[in-house]
Amino acid sequence: MNKVPRRYDLDFLRVAAFMLLIVYHVSLMYNSRNFLLKAPDTSPIFDIIHLWTHPWRMSLLFIISGTVTGMLLTRQSPEALRSARTRQLLIPLLLGLLFLIPPQIYVWLNAGLDVNVSFYDVVWHYLTWTPIRLPDGELAQLAGMQHLWYLAYLWIYTAILTLAVSARPQLLVFAGDKLASWLTGKWLLILPIMFFVLLRLLLRPVFPPTSNLLGDWYSHAIYIACFFIGAALAMRDDYWDAVVSMRRPALCLALACAPVLALLFVAMPLPEPEKWRLVVGQAIAGVFQWCTIVAVLGYARIWFKTENAVIRYLNRAVLTYYVLHQTVMLLIAYVLDQLGLMSASLFVPIVVVTLAICALLYELKRQLEASCKAMFTARFA
Q: What is the pLDDT of residues 26-50, one digit of tens each?
A: 999 999 888 999 999 888 899 999 9
Where helices occur in the chain by DSSP H, the ranges are: 8-27, 44-72, 78-85, 91-99, 101-107, 119-127, 149-167, 171-182, 187-198, 217-232, 237-245, 247-262, 275-303, 309-338, 347-380
The whole-number average pLDDT for the span 318-322 is: 96
DSSP secondary structure, 74-124, as one string? TTS-HHHHHHHHIIIIIHHHHHHHHHTHHHHHHHIIIIIS-----HHHHHH
Q: What is the pLDDT of residue 140?
A: 83
Q: Using pLDDT thresholds of 50, 70 and 90, give the confidence band for residue 331.
A: very high
Can you say whether the dihedral through the CA atoms of 331, 112, 49, 224 is positive or negative?
Answer: positive
> pLDDT band at 238, cuts 50/70/90?
very high
Residue 134 has pLDDT above 80, yes or no: yes
pTM of the model as a whole: 0.94
Average pLDDT, the chain: 92
Q: How confident is the model at residue 79 (pLDDT cuts 50, 70, 90)?
A: very high
| pLDDT confidence bin for 225, thresholds 50/70/90 | very high
Instruction: State mean pLDDT over 48-73.
Output: 96
Nearest to residue 54, comparing CAs of 293, 314, 340, 235?
A: 293
* Mean pLDDT, residues 279-292 taken together: 95
Q: Is the dihedral of CA 359, 362, 364, 366 positive or negative?
A: negative
| pLDDT at res. 267 | 67
How many CB atoms neighbour CB 351 within 10 A? 19
C-alpha 113/C-alpha 116 separation (Å) is 9
Residue 319 has pLDDT above 60, yes or no: yes
pLDDT of residue 1: 45
Q: Going by C-beta distance under 8 Å and a sequence separation of 6 or more, which residues neighbour residue 31?
A: 42, 43, 46, 47, 49, 50
Work out the percent of the chain whose per-residue pLDDT is above 70.
Answer: 96
Q: State residue 272's pLDDT score.
A: 65
Query: Would you say residue 244 has pLDDT above 80?
Result: yes
Residue 312 CA to residue 310 CA, distance in Å, equals 5
User: Distance between CA atoms of 250 and 193, rounded to whole angstroms?
Assistant: 11
Q: Which of 64, 65, 59, 61 is nearest to 223 (CA)?
A: 59
Mean pLDDT lowest among 186-190, 232-236, 270-274: 270-274
CA 252 to the chain's CA centroid: 24
Instruction: Provide the residue count of the chain.
Output: 381
State residue 3's pLDDT score: 62
Hey, what amino acid is at 262?
A
Read off the pLDDT of each residue in 1-7 and give the average, rounded to a whole number: 69
